[in-house]
Amino acid sequence: MFWLARSSRTLYRSAAVLRTRQGALSSTTPTPGWIVMTASQRQQHQRHYSSGPRATSPSAGKHEHTAAEGGSNARTDDSITVEYPAADKLPASETVAGAGRASVHVFPTLASFSLQGKVGVVTGGARGLGLVMGQGMVISGADLAIVDLNKDEAARQAKSIVRMFKKEHPEAKKLPKVTTHFADVSDPESVEACIAEIIAEHGKIDNLVTSAGFTENFEAIAYPIDRMRKLWGVNVDGTYLFATAVARHLMDRKSKASIFIGSMSGAIVNVPQPQAPYNAAKAAVRHLCASLSVEWAKSGIRVNCISPGYMLTALTQKILDDNPDLKQQWTSLIPQGRMGSPEDLMGPVTFLLSDASSYVTGADLRVDGGYTVT
């Protein structure tokens, strides 16, 4: 089974572009993330565009409005600025503890949920959601291949996953095999080389989670086309290249398996941050999932989509610590009233990759606390 996973929260290093209110564009130090401003520029920006009453045109004082104006919470806001740390400063994710203690407190469950004997691949698996989803696969019995641009971080996390498994299953006779592999998911040759390396290490691939991706927040009219091409290259091309490469392998083996991809941004428009190119990319991935599920059904390959909502990863926590108003606006739009934790994806991943979902294909499972239904 294939799983195309919303990997937007797993970020690739990307050169940010500084946008001033006048629309000027200037290159800045390569940084993963959204719009980047210096402290002095932000202060000037906030003084000029405070949330208090202001005129919308030089001669229209009578047209003043406030943030409480009707519809204001359902619009994007180009003043939203978030600074991501440089790639080498991205916070590392912690291995989830206490999620795999089935051998300590055993409860009856369906055998079809097991991934025992399966080999899973997760792209963008060194941090954030990709890492936790990969760990969920291991806890459920699978061996794992972590694919990431940062192979050193992937290797550190692979050791941590095995160490945590051993700690929580001291009686285990066999430890999971967790390997790490480099790939530029937007490069066909890099993808093919990575797939060949994984098969050489594990002998096969059964499940794929495409979690590699990144997001940027820009007004569409100011977003440089080269940035959009890079964003689509990772989020869309990367999903397509890994999905088709693994599918060829599965068809050669005449093996039934599963692939997964997605994001809630493929179904709704996020607010207040402007991110039209990213949302469009995730919509493309969502429909790619549906299309591949039909095309590959005759081969026994299932393709489903998990669409996470706002998840509180280590990186997201750092961003929101610096932008508490942004967290308040996000959570105010979530019926459950909270952001999700990465562990909330472990169950859905296990379900969609296992035989428990053998009659589920082309589905979009939104794990978003109800965000997209309001």
- What's the token pair of residue 284? 């493309």
* In the block, residue with structure tokens 């795999």: 100
Q: Which residues are catalytic?
A: 263, 278, 282
Angstrom distance (rounded) from CA 153 to CA 325: 31
Is 315 in contact with 11 (CB distance < 8 Å)?
Answer: yes
- What's the token pair of residue 9? 């929260």
Hey, which bits of the chain come out as E strands?
2-5, 17-19, 25-27, 119-123, 143-148, 178-182, 207-210, 257-261, 301-308, 364-367
Please provide residue 120's backbone torsions phi and psi, each rounded to the nearest 5 degrees: -105, 150
* In the block, residue with structure tokens 């080498």: 88
Return the SS3 of 207: strand
Return the SS3 of 364: strand
